[in-house]
Structure 1
Amino acid sequence: MSEHGFTTKIVHADHSLNLEAGAVHAPIHNSVPYGFKDVQGLIDVFQGQPGHAYARSSTPTLDALCKKIQMMDRGVATAVFSSGMSAIVATFLTLLKEGDHLICSRFLFGNTTSLLNTITGYGIEITLVDATDVNEVIKAKQDNTKMVFVETIANPVTQVSALSEIGDFCEAENLVYVIDNTITSSYLFDARTVKASLITTSLSKYVAGHGNAMGGSVTDTGIYSWDDYPNIYADYRKGDSNLWGISQIKKKGLRDMGACLSSQGAHLISVGSETMELRMDRQCENAMMLAEYLQAHPKVEKVYYPGLADHPQHERAKELFTGFGALLSFDLVDGLDCCELLNKLNLVISATHLGDNRTLALPVAPTIYFELGKALRQEMGISENMIRCSIGIENGADLIADFEQALA
């Protein structure tokens, strides 16, 4: 179905699996154990053959979602997890060891930054860089560097990483290049085009879309050669070497760490993904409309949105992405209280999440970036009066009217 459009492929993905009784949607398999008439079948699964033995590692429902995400990401294999954070944790802790060096964007999501503080305790060295400039990544390279990790569009200040240039550098230096594609999703950005080795995504956001399921994924694009990567355990150096990395992530992240996604959650994500293109087109349209409105408002000091011509990485975003996303932030002018404004909004919900059908907003400094402290917030470009918005699919005129009455 590669010749078909994005949505066509997604909505027909389950049906193409020739499901029992002609089902259009993959069913929810709630069973934890899976039995075998011949015990050799159970032995075969434990020794690496395809099949299901225990739901912590896999279920038919999870496999169906993996195939769908793999298709979206144009990868060779996908593993799904209980959340986007668990997908990132599994990637770091299964592919990096004590003494390794990891280069990361310093504009990462707050929880990811907190995770980096945690894994330094395991002896993994980390350097934070301005990932909008490839030269900063190049300067951070050390003899023990194994991996580079960046996001496509940063949350909440919307910096756009130098994705293509970093990909060229990682290829030249044989580094594992991990891109978190959550904010753009595979609909707006094909990470293979910039030579990503692995793609991590919080499926809870734009893929699921309805704010009713949590999940995460890691997709191996097949671009990186694992043959010479020193941290692949001997047990996983078997068969197709393209699958060594994802096999280790699955075994260690799911079987050993237990970061498993439920079949119920997988089903909700799978069904939600069918409307991703429709939702994101509307969300991007609304975000652009609201960004332009806020930019012209006298009570708004600054708007952060890659679709605006004065955004520092506007031209880069225009070249890389098919849309500018549905995340925008803005600073109010001095003297105005962002909490007072949020309390006056009627349609917009004060909540923490991204990718919901409803527009959500929150004050950044006292919530999602509170634990980082003011100094680190300033380094990341986050003001104390910043409001972050996740734009939904409401009628755009209604959103504008809500902000207009609140700002008045």
Structure 2
Amino acid sequence: MDFSTLCVHGCSKRYDTTGSVSVPIFQSATFVHPGVGLSTGFDYSRAQNPTREYLEQTVANLEGGADAIAFSSGMAAITTLMEIFSPGDHIIATDDLYGGSHRLFSHISKKNGLTFDFVDTTDVQNIKKCIRNETRAVFIETPTNPMMHVTDIAAVSKLCRENSLLLVVDNTFLTPYFQRPLQLGADIVVHSGTKYLGGHNDTLAGFIVVSDAALAERLRFLSKTTGACLSPFDSWLLIRGIKTLAVRLERQQQTAFRIAEWLSKQDKIRKVHYPGLPSHPGYEISKKQTSGFGAMLSFETDSKETAHRILERVSIIQYAESLGGVESLITYPMLQTHADIPQQEREARGIGECLLRLSVGLEAADDLIEDLRQAIYGGKANV
């Protein structure tokens, strides 16, 4: 079945007899037992809820996984994932990592006895050098947030299998529409469902998707026990958002490519980071392992003043955190998403006062380019 059809129709399971086209919101905390020792399959919504189950089966189908588990946020998903590890375990992670993940690993997971090496995973040899007896997993983002570095998932998977390590891939930027890490050898995929899967900047959600049923059962126990489950209403919002995932991403990617090309020609823009540009170091790997380049890009201005001027003058594009919605958002990573990373570390990775991150929405490409033009050079936008 085509991916677009899967997005619209989700999973085949139905939970009511009314013929409702829209999946019902089962806004119930608990469910009646039909008898002693009997269950409808649903007992308490922290453990499972029909609306959430429909969403989870849909996401599992899209990623080609054995199971998917929905959480109250992307960080709740990653926090629960860290519970499969024990004190003393070692994890190798991408160095250019979303600031929230870096904050969790550096301040919470380390406190709980885990150790980390943050390396440039675009070179598999950097990962290989860090493997030791205590290493249990490799955690990568590709493309990374915010520098858009690309890691060869299949190559890292091969290394992980040779060393009996789990491979975790954060697939938030590309979603299963453009990239399916499980098919490339990953064991676990995580998402901030808040972003493209939801697609409308109106709810928080997170997912863990796995290829192994035994690992799924272990994670479901942790999810039920720690309790960061996704509510029925938020599950319904994600179901609705996923229905348009394919068409949204196609349009957003087309616009992002036009903007990336336009920015590349501006004298006040020093560098554009977008995997869809042939000049990008990860372009060939992206073509090999993805079906598209996505709608996220970052760019470096010629000065801090230019960066601030853009943030303060854009009118259609909105200066706000988050990404992946129908509205275009521009972010200042050093003050927002990556503010908690020590300055020296942050700047060594290129996240400085001239770097801006742009999430391209569904507005007309010409309008967005004109908005950027007037913000960079001044003058009234012709929109």
Q: Which runs of 5+ in 1 are unaligned?
A: 43-49, 223-242
Distance in 2, matches of 1:6 and 1:162, equals 23
**Count of matched residue pairs:** 376
Q: How much is the aligned-residue C-alpha RMSD, in angstroms? A: 1.4
Secondary structure of 1:204's counterpart equals: coil
- Aligned position for 2:331: 362
1:7 aligns with 2:7: no
For normalisation by structure 2, the TM-score amounts to 0.95
Secondary structure of 2:176's counterpart equals: helix
1:187 aligns with 2:187: no
Structure 1 residue corresponding to 2:101, chosen from 91, 105, 112: 112
Change (3 A) 1:18 1:30: closer
Give the deviation of 1:312 after TM superposition: 1.4
Give the deviation of 1:19 after TM superposition: 3.9
- For residue 151 of structure 2, what is the amino acid of its counterpart? S
- Aligned position for 2:380: none
**1:173-218 alpha-carbon deviations (Å, 9 max, x no partner):** 2211111110110000011232010111111111110111211111
361-370 or 137-146, which deviates more: 361-370
1:21 aligns with 2:15: no
**1:129-167 alpha-carbon deviations (Å, 9 max, x no partner):** 111010111111111111111112101110111211101
Distance in 2, matches of 1:217 and 1:258, equals 14
- Aligned position for 1:70: 60
Retained in 2: the 8 A contact 1:73–1:221? no
Distance in 2, matches of 1:341 and 1:272, equals 30
- Aligned position for 2:215: 245
Secondary structure of 2:110's counterpart equals: helix
Retained in 2: the 8 A contact 1:14–1:25? no
- Aligned position for 2:239: 270
Change (3 A) 1:189 1:33: same
Secondary structure of 1:128's counterpart equals: strand
1:98 aligns with 2:98: no
Distance in 2, matches of 1:341 and 1:219, equals 38
1:168 aligns with 2:182: no
**1:250-308 alpha-carbon deviations (Å, 9 max, x no partner):** 111x2221111100000000011010010001111111100110010011111111111
Retained in 2: the 8 A contact 1:362–1:387? yes
Secondary structure of 2:167's counterpart equals: strand
Distance in 1, matches of 2:196 and 2:203, equals 11
Give the deviation of 1:16 after TM superposition: 5.3
Retained in 2: the 8 A contact 1:15–1:23? no
Give the deviation of 1:18 after TM superposition: 6.7
- For residue 383 of structure 1, what is the amino acid of its counterpart? G
Secondary structure of 2:199's counterpart equals: coil
- For residue 317 of structure 1, what is the amino acid of its counterpart? S
1:130 aligns with 2:120: yes
1:177 aligns with 2:167: yes
Retained in 1: the 8 A contact 2:71–2:77? yes
Distance in 2, matches of 1:105 and 1:81, equals 23
146-155 or 8-17, which deviates more: 8-17
Give the deviation of 1:385 after TM superposition: 1.2
387-396 or 373-382, which deviates more: 373-382
- Aligned position for 2:193: 203
* 1:279-290 correspondence runs (5 A): 279-290=248-259
1:321 aligns with 2:321: no
Retained in 2: the 8 A contact 1:157–1:329? yes
Distance in 2, matches of 1:70 and 1:312, equals 31
Distance in 2, matches of 1:342 and 1:403, equals 10
- For residue 282 of structure 1, what is the amino acid of its counterpart? R
Give the deviation of 1:315 after TM superposition: 1.1
Secondary structure of 2:219's counterpart equals: helix
Retained in 2: the 8 A contact 1:14–1:26? no
Secondary structure of 2:263's counterpart equals: helix
- Aligned position for 1:352: 321
Distance in 1, matches of 2:347 and 2:122, equals 17
Change (3 A) 1:391 1:65: same
Distance in 1, matches of 2:304 and 2:18, equals 64
Secondary structure of 2:23's counterpart equals: coil
Distance in 2, matches of 1:127 and 1:219, equals 24
Retained in 2: the 8 A contact 1:214–1:265? yes
Structure 1 residue corresponding to 2:364, chosen from 380, 383, 395: 395
- Aligned position for 2:275: 306
1:294 aligns with 2:283: no
Structure 1 residue corresponding to 2:29, chosen from 12, 22, 32: 32
* 1:365-384 correspondence runs (5 A): 365-384=334-353
Distance in 1, matches of 2:260 and 2:287, equals 16
- Aligned position for 2:381: none
Distance in 2, matches of 1:297 and 1:396, equals 16
- Aligned position for 2:354: 385
Distance in 1, matches of 2:120 and 2:11, equals 41
- Aligned position for 1:140: 130
- Aligned position for 1:230: none
For normalisation by structure 1, the TM-score amounts to 0.89
Distance in 2, matches of 1:355 and 1:219, equals 19
- For residue 6 of structure 1, what is the amino acid of its counterpart? F
Distance in 2, matches of 1:249 and 1:62, equals 16
Distance in 2, matches of 1:168 and 1:332, equals 38
Q: Which runs of 5+ in 2 are unaligned?
A: 378-383
